[in-house]
Amino acid sequence: MVEKGFNSDVSWLGTQYHVQTEDWGNENPFLVSRVFRNGAVVKSIKTGYHEVLPSGPTSQSKAIRLAMKIQHQEILDLLLSGKLL
């Protein structure tokens, strides 16, 4: 089974966050990351395929997966550096 996205639990300045990144698929070509605190979404980032994949929507799952992984890591980096919220 292929994972639909990435999930991470992190703590920053004593506060727990859950970061979730998922691919909404070719029918709705976006990569979406959400940051949760106490179960509520505190930040949402939506990136169109056209922004991260030069050729636009594609069936190349490896390219989509890599773009999703990069976005997820960037969100974690921004959160842990205090630049996201």
Q: Alpha-carbon Rg of the chain, whole angstroms?
A: 13
- Domain-located, residue 24: yes
Does some domain include residue 58?
yes
Give the residue numbers spanning the domain of 62. Answer: 5-80
What pTM, to 2 d.p., does this model score?
0.88
> Residue 71's closest CA among 34, 16, 18?
34
pLDDT in tens, 37-82: 999 999 999 999 888 887 655 557 888 899 999 999 999 999 999 9
Contact 53, 61 (CB under 8 A): no
Token output for 2: 């292929």
Number of domains in the chain: 1
